[in-house]
Amino acid sequence: MGTLSIPIPNEVLDSAVKASAKKLHLVPEQDKRARKVSLEEFRKDYCMNHSKTWVRCIIFDRFPETWYQNGGWAINPSGHEPGIRGTWIKLDEATRWLDKHDDEINWHEQLAKD
């Protein structure tokens, strides 16, 4: 009598091996710190290339819950806090927040001219 052979797709094997290696801590875990990007990168990639001023006025000023000091994801939203150069965005939190609040932001709004 011959041996029974059951084909297992490579994707299933790969997934099982990766899960086992991670469970056994054989693969370095991802950096636990949140990925931070500059306001410049954030505005280009996630705010339809609006200016830094637009992001500060339309998003940060109107939604103070985005401020890091209020539990949000925008570190130094004004760009003027002592000891921090520039504005930094905790990207994972910011993208989740934007998904949730996208309809509350008028992406076509223009800033008032002085």
List Cα–Cα distances, 66 to 10, 39, 77, 85, 101, in angstroms.
44, 13, 8, 18, 11
Evaluate whether residue 6 is within a structural domain. no
On the question of pLDDT at 81 being above 60, the answer is: yes
Evaluate whether residue 64 is within a structural domain. yes
Evaluate whether residue 109 is within a structural domain. no
Nearest in space to 37 (alpha carbons), one of 74, 82, 69:
74
On the question of pLDDT at 104 being above 70, the answer is: yes
Evaluate whether residue 95 is within a structural domain. yes
The span from the CA of 42 to the CA of 55, in Å, is: 10
Please tell me which of 13-27, 49-63, 76-90 the model is most confident about, judged by mean pLDDT: 49-63
**Domain interval for residue 52:** 40-104
Evaluate whether residue 16 is within a structural domain. no
Number of compact structural domains in the chain: 1
Per the structure block, which two tokens stand in for 107?
A: 């992406």
Evaluate whether residue 98 is within a structural domain. yes
pLDDT in tens, 8-45: 888 877 788 777 877 776 755 555 567 899 999 999 99
Evaluate whether residue 87 is within a structural domain. yes
Nearest in space to 61 (alpha carbons), one of 105, 99, 100:
105
The position carrying tokens 């500060």 is: 56
Evaluate whether residue 75 is within a structural domain. yes
pLDDT in the model for residue 112: 86
